[in-house]
Amino acid sequence: MIQQPCAKINLGLNITSKRPDGYHNLETVFYPINIRDEICIKPENEKSQSYQCTLSINGISIDGDLQQNLIVKAYNLIKKYHAEVTSINVTLTKNIPTQAGMGGGSSDCAYTIRMLNHMYNLNMSIQEMQSLAAKLGADCPFFINPIPSFATGIGDILTPVNMDLSPYKIAVVKPDIKISTKEAFTNITVQKPIKCCRDIVMQPIETWKDELVNDFEKNISSIYPEIIQIKNKLYDLGAIYASMTGSGSAVFGIFNKEIKDLDKVFNNCYVCLV
């Protein structure tokens, strides 16, 4: 079975409070975009005493132990509750940039859950799959049903948002910067926004520049000024709205016109136009 997990961008991201468990509550609008990995899952037919997920990766390299990859963790979690799942071989072709704030790993995780649910006729509902996905990452539940959504809690409480950016072009630019969670939360200001991002994205896009903010962006830009330089350049090129997504380091711009030669403008960065 083959599927193509999508990426996402954050339209606004506000850190609203700190939780007793050490996590932070937030408000954001997740919007899926057509940058996609590819996952191919093949079940093993041979019976075995110990079932396992064997993972191989093509495309963009991923650091770390493959057994700690969210795809393997998703398999292990499903296997815990569903004994009928057999050993599988998974080939991941990685196209979504890593450490970008675009949810690539979370999407791979969620799509693995979806694929196993279908392949083994597990009959899990979307809500059941989202509940399992939440055990593996805050934004994993979004990718079980990746439609524009207002997210609260740690990003796991989702409400659909009726919006469509398909008439526009979205440019994604990611510099060669890796941002840790610790860096992202350094000196972060926890506060309720004056206006909720869900309400702002219902307004004309031309109004977003003055109101729609990502609370991580100011902090990250002070450490990595390339972020704000990319954002400003996107505005120079005619973007209606531009912002860092998630905790970075990818920056996106929304355009109402065709944009050419982005790879030449940002020649040391990952660039994609969708």
Catalytic residues: 8, 139
What are the Cα distances from residue 38, in Å, to 3, 91, 94?
A: 6, 8, 7
Give the contacts of 198 (CB within 8 A, at least 6 positions apart). 27, 29, 150, 159, 161
Strands 88-94, 53-59: pairing kind: parallel
Cα–Cα distance between 226 and 141 in angstroms, integer?
31
* Cβ-contact 184, 216 below 8 angstroms: yes
**Which one-letter amino acid corresponds to residue 101?**
G
SS3 16: strand
Instruction: Give which of 37, 187, 8, 181 is closest to 115, Cα–Cα.
Output: 37
DSSP state of 214: B
Cα–Cα distance between 36 and 209 in angstroms, integer?
27
* Cβ-contact 254, 169 below 8 angstroms: yes
Token pair, residue 162, equals 């009726």
What is the 3-state composition of the chain as percent helix, strand, coil, each rounded to the nearest 5? 30, 30, 40
Cα–Cα distance between 28 and 149 in angstroms, integer?
8
Q: What is the four-CA torsion angle of 134, 125, 69, 154, rounded to 10 degrees?
A: -20
